[in-house]
Structure 1
Amino acid sequence: MKKRYVSIWFPHLVCDQMAIKQKELKTQAYALVAHERNKQMIVNVSHEAKKLGLRPNMPLADARITFPALQAFKHQPQRQQKLLKKLAEWFIRYSPSVALDEPDGLFLDVSGCTHLWKNEALYLEEISSRLEKEYHFHIAIADTIGAAWALSHFSTQQIAAPGQQMQALLNLPPKALRLQDPILQRLSKLGFHHIASFAHIAPTTLRRRFGDELNLRMGQAMGQQQEAFNAIEEPNPYRERLQCLEPIQTAKGIEIAIENLLEIICERLKQEGLGIRNATLNAYRLDGKLQQIKIGTNQPSIHIKHLFKLFELKIKQIEPDLGIELFVMEVLKVEPLTQHQEALWHTNTHTNFTEIAELLDRISIKAGKNAIRRYLPQEHHWPENSIKAVADLTLQPQTNWPVHKPRPTVLLNQPETIKVTAPIPDYPPMNFTYKGQIHRIIKADGPERIEQEWWTNDGKHRDYYCVEDEKGQRYWLFRLGHYDSKVPAQWFIHGFFA
């Protein structure tokens, strides 16, 4: 997959945030100031203050001579860092990989994301529409982090087409390559005022004049050299880490790590009245590869022994190789702990509800998540709508199961069409063809008419038949709607009896 990156630059980040909080002020001209050389120096200004000619590094006294109504606030570096981190977490909705570009920018790895908004232009438009109400920003997308940063900071072009970052950067100043001031000064003295003026010079020549940094930044911007993308971790309040003093290579060592992590997490959840529904164990090997196992429960649980057994059944999936140096356990879904109840559904036998739920958890781990399902009846006429799947074992039926008519053991999610031969209208079929196989019917019972609900007008009634073929297998068939001699009848198979 071709890599694509978005760079977003907030030149007035904290000032914009102050403007949001200080809407009652008469002016939108703000400045952040700090003490330097016994003077109050401006560190950053709002967009409106910039229009008035105010700039960072100006003495506050000089700025107020130019604009007496300027509102000044104390510069707090940690405020900008916290705000940038919160914005990064908010942007996870647009990309799973978001990195900080301190002090005032973000990078997004949008590879495989933009198609959800049809194209890159609509993707950027969606982000811009959400930000423009509160922040001043510049945004751009390109194949590399360096190219996206250059466009967002020094160009009005927002999109560099795949493979076209060179053409997009040629007319930009050398500063767009994120070079240090000494290199920029030397480039300026030599008359290199645009990237195009030195882009085609041999790397060895540039290295002799300017050192390795210029070639490195050029290579990163053009996609010839890799650049690290340090994505932030999505905040998860229920995550615990266990660093290993020595690499773990045995199953026993993994078991001890799981027990320790479960004890810490379950103690926290117990204090909050919550239980685990889904959890993941991430095991980071020395070679950098990730080993991962997941568990799920039918009801919220903080029963450490039970949760450990679920993980234990999957330990064999972990390949430690040279050893595991870090374990991270994440609880992806929590729910309030439920009270114990003695009766399960409508049985008269009092059974320990928790033990049954834990038994179902262990079976699900071995047989698969969908191996066990629970259904409850609901008020609908058509059979496929008369049941609903539920995951919560504590839910009780709101209506009774219908028992006045026979129903198949296996019901198809949706009826499937079949070819039927019937002697005369309203008679059971003599044979039917299903999936290429002909079934000759020797016994039949019906019809049982099932109407669609009166408030629904988009379905005909159904006439159901219980039939048995020459092999003794029984099926549930139906004809849709009234018999019409001009139109061939539509027949369907809907279920199988035991």
Structure 2
Amino acid sequence: MAKRFVAIWFPHLLTDWLVIRRPELQHLPFVVAAPDHGRLVITAASKTAQAQGIHAGAVVADARALIPDLQVFNNRPGLAAQLLSALCKWCIRFTPTAAADLPDGLLLDASGCAHLWGGEAPYLDDIAARLKAYGYHIRIAMAGTIGAAWAAARYGQPVSVIHSGHEARTLSALPPAALRLDPLILERLQKLGLSRISTFIEMPRAVLRRRFGPELLYRLDQALGREDEALQPLEPVQPWQERLPCLEPILTATGIGIALERLLTVLCSSLQQKGKGLRTAVLKAYRLDGKIEQVQAGTHRASHNVAHLLKLFEHKIAAIEPDLGIELFILEAPDVEDVAPQQETLWTTGCSLESIGLAQLADRLAGKAGAPAIRRYLPLPHYWPERSIQATASFTEKPVTGWPTDHPRPIQLLPRPEPVEVSAPIPDYPPMLFRYKGALHNIKKADGPERIEQEWWLEAGPHRDYYIVEDEAGRRYWLFRLGHYSGSEPPRWFIHGFFA
């Protein structure tokens, strides 16, 4: 597939943006200015101001001598970059690879995209028409290289299509500035009377290198395709991604569901062929008004089962606001893992940690209650209870050690032990009753103590004597006494967990 690139130039980016926000400025002369060495210097001038001789680089005081009622707006640092970033995201509806070209342009990798619009000319016309409808003045060009597209957008026709192999012919008629050269090189070319690329494009390379250095040849080779030039997209293209352009804008939840099912079918088929499954899926809906609606679903186990993934998105579709309509859907899988072949047989097996049904249930609960509502813990090789477990979001992660079998552990461990008031008959005896959060619990059964020492190589401190106790209602708790009865201070009691 031949490479095709699109360059978009916004000659009035900042002033167009101001007119979009304040339509009353459309036919008035105004400028954007910034302080420079004690003077206000114009950084951008509106089209009306330019028609009256005001251009970037002029001093505001001089400009007001020409136009007394000239309006001046303060320049916002970084505004151009923010605008180009937003426009770059908007262009993703036309190509997955879009990059900002500071200070006033965009670059798109349109390889394999134009046929969806019926050809390259209609493709460019659609982009140009939409941007102009928003209020931006633009020039746009498509070519087989970034350099040729950039040159044609700024120095060629307002909408230009340069067919592959015709870059040299197009560039020949343009000025040297079309090659993105340093101003010093341009000045040197001008002094020698080389006012068109055609005047030096056929010169011996050794002569050009000796007179102008390597940059001229490098830029010329980039524009002619002899040197590769890569785009740095604003958003890296996900390796697992599917796009679905809509012939007619989608306005209903039913239409969104149909689009999602088509995307999932294609994406899951590709994943299955590679032995992969997704852990996270992101659906992006690009609206006609330029806004992007986005919903996300996650799984506890890598999956490429379309029916299951559709269920995870069911209640999220209602959150997508189509407004005037959705023209493009993109489904991405940013988090992908291997899926073992034998895992597919688990769809019909009973419930276990390896069961797909369990993973599906966890996914649905997480989708409704939030991912933090689903918790799984693995044992760690530590004696101290707070260090003996770790949380994990994966069903496939394996523990480094086993759960203790000689002493039972509570199903719910408090993040931090909480103090309780205890009545105990004599040292080393279990308590008879305890008060926790204002409630009194009479203990009917007790087992213990189990002494757990601090891990001295990690932290110093007194030991704990743990008891499993059961109150009159049959509820079981994990209590411990911190320290000994002997000494100047009495021991303290804490509750640390709850049994089922």
| 3-state secondary structure, aligned to 1:456 | coil
Residue of structure 1 in register with 2:38 after alignment: 171
**Cα displacement (A) at 1:322:** 4.2
Kindly tell me the number of residue pairs found equivalent between the two proteins. 330
- SS of 1:340's partner is helix
- Quote how far apart the aligned CAs of 1:256 are: 1.4
Q: Is the 8 A contact 2:380 2:400 kept in 1?
A: yes
Shift of 1:267: 4.1
Which residue of 248, 251, 254 maps to 2:253? 251
1:450 paired residue number:
452
Question: Are 2:43 and 2:57, in contact at CA under 8 Å, matched by a contact in 1?
Answer: no
- Indicate whether 1:292 and 2:156 are aligned: no
Question: 1:288-344 CA distances to partner (integer Å, 9 max, x unpaired)?
Answer: 554322111122222223222222242233343443333222222122333424999
> Using the alignment, how far apart are the partners of 2:57 and 2:328 within structure 1?
49
Structure 1 383/173 Cα, relative in aligned 2: closer, same or farther at 3 Å? closer
Pick aligned residue for 2:68 from 205, 221, 229: 205
Q: Does the CA contact (< 8 Å) of 1:343 and 1:353 recur in 2?
A: no
Q: Which amino acid aligns with 2:317?
A: I
Among 485, 488, 494, the residue aligned to 1:486: 488
Residue in 1 that maps onto 2:236: 235
Is 2:404 the counterpart of 1:402?
A: yes
Decide whether aligned partners of structure 1 residues 350 and 184 sit closer, same or farther in structure 2, where only a CA change above 3 A counts: closer
In structure 2, the CA distance between the partners of 1:342 and 1:407, relative to structure 1 (3 Å rule), is farther
Identify which of 60, 71, 75 aligns with 1:221. 75
Match of 1:302 among 301, 304, 308: 304
Cα distance change, pair 379–227 in 1 and its aligned pair in 2 (3 A): closer
- 8 Å CA contact retained: 1:343, 1:350: no
Question: What is the 5 A alignment of 1:260-275?
Answer: 260-270=262-272, 272-275=274-277
**Is 1:340 matched up with 2:342?**
yes
User: Within 1, Cα distance between the matches of 2:66 and 2:415?
Assistant: 65
Q: Deviations over 1:392-418 (max 9, x none)?
A: 323444433223223323221222223
Letter of the 1:378 counterpart? L
Give, in whole Å, the separation in 2 of the partners of 1:375 and 1:458.
26
Verify the 8 A CA contact 1:275 1:335 in the aligned structure 2. yes
Which piece of structure 1 moves more, 277-286 or 418-427? Answer: 418-427
Secondary structure of 2:435's counterpart equals strand
Could you tell me which residue of structure 1 aligns to residue 371 of structure 2? 369
1:27-64, CA deviations, whole angstroms, 9 ceiling, x for partnerless residues? xxxxxxxxxxxxxxxxxxxxxxxxxxxxxxxxxxxxxx
Gaps of 5+ in 2: 19-31, 89-233
Kindly provide the CA deviation profile for residues 111-170 of structure 1, in whole angstroms up to 9, marking residues without a partner as x.
Answer: xxxxxxxxxxxxxxxxxxxxxxxxxxxxxxxxxx99xxxxxxxxxxxxxxxxxx988447
The answer to whether the 8 A contact 1:374-1:390 is kept is yes
Most deviating of 294-303 and 412-421: 412-421
Partner of 1:41: none
The residue type paired with residue 219 of structure 1 is F
Q: Offset at 1:193?
A: 8.7
- Hey, what does 2:211 align to over in structure 1? none
Displacement after TM superposition at 1:464 (Å):
0.6
Shift of 1:490: 2.6
Q: What pairs up with 1:140-179 in 2 under 5 angstroms?
A: 168-169=35-36, 171-172=38-39, 174=41, 176-177=43-44
Instruction: Tell me, yes or no, if the aligned pair for 2:377 and 2:392 is still in contact at 8 Å.
Output: yes
SS of the aligned residue for 1:316 comes to: helix
Cα deviation for residue 468 of structure 1 reads: 2.9
* Amino acid of the structure 2 residue aligned with 1:257: A
RMSD, matched Cα: 4.5
Does structure 1 conserve the Cα–Cα contact (< 8 Å) formed by 2:33 and 2:60? no
Partner of 2:469: 467
Corresponding position of 1:419: 421
Aligned in 2, Cα 1:167/1:440: closer, same or farther, shift over 3 Å? farther
Secondary structure of the corresponding residue to residue 83 of structure 2 = coil
* 2:484–2:490 CA contact under 8 A, matched in 1: no
Instruction: Provide the identity percentage.
Output: 49
Q: Tell me the TM-score normalised to structure 1 length.
A: 0.54
Matched ranges for 1:385-396 at <5 A: 385-396=387-398
Amino acid at match of 1:435: K
Counterpart of 1:446, as a letter, is: G
Unaligned 5+ runs, structure 1: 1-77, 86-99, 108-144, 147-164, 208-214
Indicate conservation of the 8 Å contact 2:444/2:470, yes or no.
yes
The answer as to whether partners of 2:451 and 2:464 remain within 8 angstroms in 1 is yes
Query: Aligned pair in 2 of structure 1 residues 316, 450: CA closer, same or farther (>3 Å)?
Result: same
Q: 1:336 to 1:170 in 2, by over 3 A?
A: same
| CA distance in structure 1 between the aligned counterparts of 2:285 and 2:308, rounded to whole angstroms | 21
Q: Is this contact kept in 1: 2:243–2:331, CA < 8 A?
A: yes
- Mapped contact 2:281–2:331 kept (Cα < 8 A): yes
CA distance in structure 1 between the partners assigned to 2:345 and 2:488 by the alignment = 57
